[in-house]
Amino acid sequence: MERGTFQLMKSVNKSVVLNKIRLAEPISRAQIAKETGITPPTVSTIVKELINENLVEESILGESKGGRKPTMLLLKRNGHHVIGIDAGSNKIKGISTDLVGNILTATETPIQPHISKADFLMELKKVIWRIYQGIEVKESILGIGVAMHGVVDIASGVSLYSSNSGLRDVPIKEELEKEFGLLVMVENNSRAMALGEYWFGEHDVSECFVTINIGRGVGSGIIENGRLTYGAQDIAGEIGHMVMDLNGKICSCGNKGCFETFVTGDAIVQRAKEQIKAAPDDLTAEAIYARAKEGKTDYVKVLEDTGRLIGLGIVNLIHMINPDEIFLGGGVLNSEEFLMPVIRHTIHERALTEKARNGTVIEVSKLGDEATILGAAALLLAELF
């Protein structure tokens, strides 16, 4: 453990106790002491503080091992609230959650293509006001977490650039902190999705955890040892712009042959039109899936080809960072029954070692669309815990 001042040690212990309760509740003071190695008197002092701060409550009696039944501790679900926002390129969604990620209220509003910076901020504030007004005790709000599409500067909370909406240099954190007087944290939507899946999804203990979002664009979030990875200039995980064909199609970023140009919903539609002569002009990714489900083999092939390409992208990712778990999400994964067998097969065929071939867990997120917005809420929770 790191050496520090008494005050720091105390807060490190506090965080350890709070996380122990979060992960193992209901749990007794004695169990916390036993499992964390913190002395029983210190655990008692910390628990008292946590109860005073409305973070923890005493509850149902636990199993007695002879003698008096111990009092069990739980997170106080309704003691604090968080506002989570998923600002996509076509709609803004908002939720309020309790301390364990239960969604209490939800709202959403569509946003127009090529929206101006001022209008975007206005719509964002409107969504947050609606959620804010639904929370009875305003003092219980820990803050606002925003998952924003495109590239985000984390420290300043500025949305730097989005190829989908065309927005540039939007000072989200500054504007919202001024409006609501609350702590605001802004994160790229793919990283927020990783955080949401990591906090609230069903997964094993993971040293290197990755989520990949494949929809209108492609992004990923990497969590190593419990923390999001950013890289030197905040673009770690931008696998949508990993080059897969030197002479490929022009990507929204201006480069050629990026991973995105092969596997987004639009890319799949384009491939279907190239491969299937009878494909209608107004074909959509949903229609391709529907036709594949009807057993139309040419549409099944389009999805299987897509699965192979997604698999190749994931093989590159495995070779770069070697994660133990990868969760996939986004609209394209609605066709998982056709994609996943081919994705897994491609990884099995190409990953460098037998351990990586057989040991890398690849699943579709069960949280689905909610992973991103829960991750936005978790930005604040990660500060607390």
263 is a site residue for Zn ion (CB under 5 A): no
DSSP H helix total and E strand total for the chain: 13, 16
Instruction: Tell me how far, at minimum, the Cβ of 41 lies from Zn ion, in Å.
Output: 57
Instruction: Tell me how far, at minimum, the Cβ of 257 lies from Zn ion, in Å.
Output: 8
User: For Zn ion, which is the closer residue by CB, 216 or 241?
Assistant: 241
User: For Zn ion, which is the closer residue by CB, 135 or 253?
Assistant: 253
**Interface residues for Zn ion in 130-169 (CB under 5 A)?**
none
The token duo for 174 is 């500054």
Instruction: Tell me how far, at minimum, the Cβ of 190 lies from Zn ion, in Å.
Output: 14
φ, ψ at 329 (rounded to 5°): -150, -175
**Interface residues for Zn ion in 231-250 (CB under 5 A)?**
241
How many chain residues are in contact with Zn ion, going by CB under 5 A? 5
Work out whether strand 141-148 and strand 81-87 pair parallel, antiparallel, or are unpaired.
Answer: parallel
Instruction: Tell me how far, at minimum, the Cβ of 241 lies from Zn ion, in Å.
Output: 4
Report which DSSP code applies to 138. Answer: G
Instruction: Tell me how far, at minimum, the Cβ of 161 lies from Zn ion, in Å.
Output: 12
Cβ pair 122, 129 in contact under 8 A? no
Instruction: Tell me how far, at minimum, the Cβ of 320 lies from Zn ion, in Å.
Output: 17
Report CA-CA distances (Å) from 167 to 124, 173, 234, 267: 13, 15, 18, 22
Report which DSSP code applies to 256. Answer: B
As a whole number of angstroms, the distance between CA 379 and CA 383 comes to 7
Stretch that binds Zn ion, among 101-109, 258-266, 278-286, 366-374 (CB under 5 A): 258-266
Binding map of Zn ion across residues 180-219, x = CB under 5 A, - = no contact:
----------------------------------------
Among 253, 276, 287, 382, binds Zn ion (CB under 5 A): 253
User: For Zn ion, which is the closer residue by CB, 80 or 149?
Assistant: 149
Report which DSSP code applies to 210. Answer: E
251 is a site residue for Zn ion (CB under 5 A): yes
As a whole number of angstroms, the distance between CA 104 and CA 236 comes to 33
173 is a site residue for Zn ion (CB under 5 A): no
- H/E segment holding residue 141: strand 141-148
Report which DSSP code applies to 137. Answer: -
The residues that touch Zn ion, with contacts defined as CB under 5 A, are: 241, 251, 253, 255, 258
